Amino acid sequence: MPIKRTAIWHPFTQHALQDEMIEVVRGSGAYLHTTDGRRVIDAISSWWVVTHGHCHPRIVSAIQEQAAKLNQVIFAGYTHDPAEKVAELLLKLAPRGLDHVFFSDSGSTSVEVALKMALGYWHNIGKKRTRIVVMQNSYHGDTIGAMSVGARGVFNAAYGPLLFEVTSIPFPARGHEQTTLDALEFACRNESPAAFIVEPLILGAGGMLMYPAWMLKEMKRICETSDVLFIADEVMTGWGRTGTLFACEQADVAPDIACYSKGLTGGALPLAVTLCRADIFDAHYSKDRTRTFFHSSSYTANPVACAAAVANLDLWQTREAHQRLASVATMQEHGIEPFRTDPRFTNVRRTGTITALDLKASDAGYLADIGPKLQELFRDRDLLLRPLGNTIYVMPPYCVTAEDLDEIYAAISDAADALA
């Protein structure tokens, strides 16, 4: 049953408009179970983190076993087997050319690490390159550096004095891709930036905006030509969301720095990594202690979280996991197809296992009035769908069934009728 107001301040929540929280007591597969006996389909993977399903037995077992042996140790000067295994498995699965793994705790911190790696690299090799190039409408997290390289707007308007300036290139809207490439090339040639950071193939919180793999490849080529570090923020797009394990695979792109989190532990525990090329590590490798990479958190490479990640990475090496990924992508296309000719919606789109569509409304964007109304309608249908304003997206765990998706898309259609 809903929980009335408590002392808890919830994220991305306007408590003046939502005074009661839904209490979840159990998760299993694609479902969440509440105190009042409702079974809710988790259609957005609990903020994009759950991959193989809630409480996957292999991941749960790995957590239990590790918690009984070693649950925390300082990671400066010490290491442990779960972290070593995570690094080993990641470097086998990640795009070629990534040689070192730095652990942190969340998507935002993995981006902070990436930015500091890039700036530290140029500083340590004696070149003054500090500008960061970003893409319009991007979102990279809620810490200061991550906000600075994200779109300026409602998410960070109050914190403007804390943010550093960046160069922004336009999103590659269909038919206007060359404008984006020209802007990136101009910035790389004339501003000598340290790095370009981008969400490969899909901009998540910016509206589930999608662009083709060839654009990603061209942007990497431009960066290479000007010796600009290419940072791939795959916090959301990694772990199969775009149809391949990592989005960069579809463009045959090897980033210089890559950020992974969310599905890294299968959604069981918070953990993040930032991977980089050997020369970025080497620029910090010195007997001069001033060239140390000065970044950490108390829970860096927490052993229990790493054990969950090892179990998740083991699952990704099975044929079944990849077959399931392909199956969900096919089911998602089947579910979204009727909406492509539905006059109530526009910009109906899919990449891999993610679908999105914009409900035609008198206002649009993240603060569209229709957003909270949609959420309420979906809650009443026992669905966890959290639209980005008038943009509705479906990003389920990979254990979702065709029947679940039928229920989800029926509710989306009905919601459009109810709010017409």
Tens digits of residue pLDDT in 238-269: 999 999 999 999 999 999 999 999 999 999 99
pLDDT, mean of residues 295-317: 97
Tens-place pLDDT, residues 1-59 = 556 678 999 999 999 888 789 999 999 999 999 999 999 999 999 999 999 999 999 99
pLDDT of residue 3: 60
CATH class for domain 60-315?
alpha beta
Percent of the chain having pLDDT more than 90?
94
Percent of the chain having pLDDT more than 70?
99
pLDDT surpasses 70 at 94: yes
Which residues, at least 6 apart from 158, have a Cβ–Cβ distance to it below 8 Å? none
pLDDT of residue 357: 98
Tens-place pLDDT, residues 342-363 = 999 999 999 999 999 999 998 8
C-alpha distances out from residue 5 to 16, 38, 177, 367, 372, Å? 10, 21, 48, 23, 19
pLDDT of residue 364: 83
Question: Do residues 11 and 21 lie in contact, with contact meaning Cβ atoms separated by under 8 Å?
Answer: no
pLDDT surpasses 70 at 74: yes
- The pLDDT mean for the chain works out to 96
Which residues, at least 6 apart from 334, have a Cβ–Cβ distance to it below 8 Å? 402, 405
Q: What backbone phi and psi angles, to 5 degrees, belong to 19?
A: -90, -15
pLDDT surpasses 90 at 324: yes
Question: Do residues 397 and 324 lie in contact, with contact meaning Cβ atoms separated by under 8 Å?
Answer: no
100 falls in which pLDDT band (50, 70, 90)?
Answer: very high
pLDDT, mean of residues 390-398: 98
- Render 135-176 in DSSP notation, one character per residue: ETT----SSHHHHHTSPPSTTTGGGGGGPPP-EEE----TT-
pLDDT surpasses 80 at 321: yes
pLDDT, mean of residues 234-241: 98
pLDDT surpasses 60 at 274: yes
pLDDT of residue 366: 87
Residue among 193, 170, 206 nearest 388 (CA): 206
Count how many residues are written for the chain. 420
Question: Do residues 267 and 60 lie in contact, with contact meaning Cβ atoms separated by under 8 Å?
Answer: no
pLDDT of residue 18: 84
154 falls in which pLDDT band (50, 70, 90)?
Answer: confident
Report the C-alpha gap between 149 and 220 in whole angstroms.
18
Q: Where are the domains of the chain?
A: 1-43, 60-315
pLDDT of residue 353: 98
Q: End-to-end alpha-carbon separation of the chain, Å? A: 30
pLDDT, mean of residues 199-220: 98
Per-residue DSSP letter, 72:
-
Lowest mean pLDDT of 117-121, 161-165, 299-303, 365-369, name the range. Answer: 365-369
What residues form DSSP beta bridges with 272?
A: 104
pLDDT of residue 97: 96
pLDDT of residue 367: 87
pLDDT of residue 325: 97
pLDDT surpasses 80 at 185: yes
* Secondary structure class of 221 (helix, strand, coil): helix
